[in-house]
Amino acid sequence: MKPLDNKFWLFLVLSLASGLFIGWVDSRPNWDDTGITVLLILVATFIIGFFAKNRVWVFALIVGLCVLGFNVILHNNYGSVLSFVFAFIGAYSSVIFKKLIILNN
């Protein structure tokens, strides 16, 4: 197993920051737009997954946990457990997209 490099820690911090921001926005009392929350999760994990070399599942897990954590702690709402699904879709679709670009070049 390779040691963790500086890029891993950078992406870890970025995924934590984006997950906390999305979770904070989603947990606002007057926020009721699930579509934008899902879009933010997809875009954040896609971008992080595209530039990360490996371990994209870690970054998707962090974003999903942050969004779920905000909703569970503040509102006792477990409905945002689906944020994991969208976080993993975003992260792994970037991996597939990256492989398609490399194969076509």
Q: Is residue 1 part of a domain?
A: no
pLDDT tens for residues 3-24? 678 888 999 999 999 999 999 9
Contact 53, 5 (CB under 8 A): no
pLDDT for 31: 82
Q: Is residue 34 part of a domain?
A: yes
pLDDT for 45: 96
pTM, to two decimals: 0.90
Contact 24, 75 (CB under 8 A): no
Number of structural domains (the chain) is: 1
Whether 38 shows a pLDDT value over 90: the answer reads yes
Domain region containing 55: 6-104
pLDDT tens for residues 46-98? 999 999 978 899 999 999 999 999 889 988 888 889 999 999 999 999 999 99
Q: Is residue 59 part of a domain?
A: yes
Tokens for 63?
């974003």
pLDDT for 3: 67
Q: Is residue 75 part of a domain?
A: yes
Q: Is residue 65 part of a domain?
A: yes
